[in-house]
Amino acid sequence: MSAVGGGRGGVGKTLLTVNLAVYLAQLGRSVAISDADPFGSGLHNMLGSERPPLALPKDIKEGRSVPKPTSVPGLELLPTAYDLWAVAPKRPSRMSHWMTQISQLDFDYVLLNLGAATTPATLDVFYEADVSICVAAPEPAAVEATYRFCRALFTRRLRRSLMRDRFKLRVVERALAALPPLPPPRDVVTEIARYDVSIAAMAAATMRRLRPSLVVGKTRLKRDLDLGPA
């Protein structure tokens, strides 16, 4: 399973997702693709397909939320787990049920377009995917949004790792409250170390485990290509 996300709209996440799906299908692989953007990315329009149906809770639990064929042989479109009138799942458990069903699908590749959202469900799916791709562009707003996305991913994973230990979680929240807005993750680790060295070590380990792949689109100049390594 591959997840494509990022912190800014319009940088090419949907375009990349669709092109990867079509490419893999043309290689003879079975591919499923889904619009998991809470705001709706409209990837079905790029495929010349109708809007995918909503994955209703009852359908998800009973395994009746099935993908639909597209005009591309070997490529099918999954229902979306998001309410068409909202920007988040109706219930916290809805996305987890949906993800469980996706993991059981008999496809060679499953691609999820997560959009530019940083909701907890979106960040969890991005982290848990086999391949996580963050899309950016060589422009200041996109670079800042990409940083915000990665920082949100770091804080989400750190909080998730401490959910069963409220004392340690309170230490992290106290450290975050003492820092200015949008602190670098390294500063977060340093601040946590002022309260508890063991928790700081856990935060540093969480930071090291986050290794999303980065795609920089709209590159024209050499300095644009240098943005990825930077």
Q: What pLDDT digit, counting tens, does each position of 62-73 carry?
A: 555 678 888 899
pLDDT of res. 64: 56
DSSP of 191-225: HHHTT-HHHHHHHHHHHHH---EEEE-S--SHHHH
pLDDT of res. 82: 62
pTM score of the predicted model: 0.83
Q: Find the largest Cα–Cα distance for the chain.
A: 58
- CA 196, distance to chain mean position in Å, is 30
Give 189's pLDDT tier (boundaries 50, 70, 90).
Answer: very high
- What percent of the chain stands above pLDDT 70? 86
pLDDT in tens, 56-110: 555 555 555 678 888 899 999 887 766 554 545 445 455 666 677 777 778 999 9
DSSP state of 38: T
pLDDT in tens, 130-172: 999 999 999 999 999 999 999 999 999 999 999 889 999 999 9
pLDDT of res. 90: 47
